[in-house]
Each structure stands twice: as structure tokens, then as C-alpha cells.
Amino acid sequence: MSAASLPTSRGQSGAPRLAAAPHRQPRPAAPVPYARERRVLGDPTPLACTVAKAVMEALLGGPALDSYARWIEPAVFAQVARQRSLARRAGLSRSRPVGVRRARVFRVSRDAAEVSIVVDDGDHCRAIAMRLEDVTGRWLVTEMHVG
């Protein structure tokens, strides 16, 4: 719409004035289809203890970790699966159930936590250190070291 086509009126000086354009309400922002509000995840201790116990059982020749693949990064999962395979070939088997003795969690940031866990496999107590990170709204084990 050009200035010449807008309706005009005469002011006190006789010069033409442009009439104000009608006020339009701004459009509301279009909703993003699958966007969710990201919340800070809760305490990672239960997941860390469960994964540590399952990993220790696997390293001692126990059952596979396939049901835990969702919570373990693929590179870490492949490393544990390889160690389990070596343990099975060596003829290792669990004599007693593995238990978690202690777990300590340190929240490094809003989206990451580092956990140290002491597990008892019946013969020895071992330490497991892991890092969990918030990936797509869930905890994911991104690093793991078994001592």
C-alpha cells in the first residue's frame, strides 16, 4: 500500500495528512510440534548402581547387558561386551551375587554427574567410576572405568 493510496484528511494547515493504519494484533508464535521444556534430571544414583552391578556381573561372566544398552553409550557398551566375551572364554562364572557397598555422586554441572561406586563380588571389592550426562532428557553413561 503506497502513501498515495492511503485515505487522507485535511489538517488545520490545509495540508493532507495520512490516516493511521488500523492496529493489528501480532500473531502468536507457532508451537514447535515436539518441543518439551527441559527439566533438570533427578538423582542418578539408582541408575548408576544398577548399571554398575550389571557391568560387574557381566565382567565376571554373567548375563549380557543387552537390556541396559539404552543407558550406556555405544562405545562403552562395546568395551564391556568385549570384556564379557573374554571372561566367558576364560571360563569365569559368578560364585556369589554382586552387591553395591557404596555410591558417591558429584554433580559436575546441571547436565552431568560423576559417580564412584564400590562393588563387592564375593571375593574382592572393586571400584567403578562413571560419568553420566543428560542426553535427550535421560541419563546416559558416557565413561566408565572398572578397577
Number of structural domains, the chain? 1
Query: Confidence band (pLDDT; 50, 70, 90) for 75?
Result: very high
What whole-number distance in Å separates Cα of residue 23 and Cα of residue 30? 21
pLDDT at 146 over 80: yes
- The pair phi, psi for residue 8, each rounded to 5°, is -120, 160
- Distances in Å between the Cα of 25 and the Cα atoms of 3, 12, 22, 143 are 22, 31, 10, 52
* pLDDT the model gives residue 19: 58
* Residue 106, beta-bridge partner list: 114
pTM, 2 dp:
0.71
Q: Name the one residue in this structure whose C-alpha cell is 488545520.
A: 12
Q: Name the one residue in this structure whose C-alpha cell is 571400584.
A: 127
Domain presence at residue 29: no
Selection from 1-15, 16-30, 46-60 with the highest mean pLDDT: 46-60
What whole-number distance in Å separates Cα of residue 8 and Cα of residue 18? 5
Cell, residue 124: 574382592
pLDDT tens-digit profile of 91-102?
877 667 889 999
Average pLDDT for 37-48? 85
Q: Which of 110, 97, 94, 113 is nearest to 46 (CA)?
A: 113
Average pLDDT for 18-25? 62
Helix count (H) and strand count (E) of the chain?
2, 6
87: CATH: 3.10.450
Domain presence at residue 132: yes
The residue segments making up the domain with residue 92 are 45-146
pLDDT at 47 over 70: yes
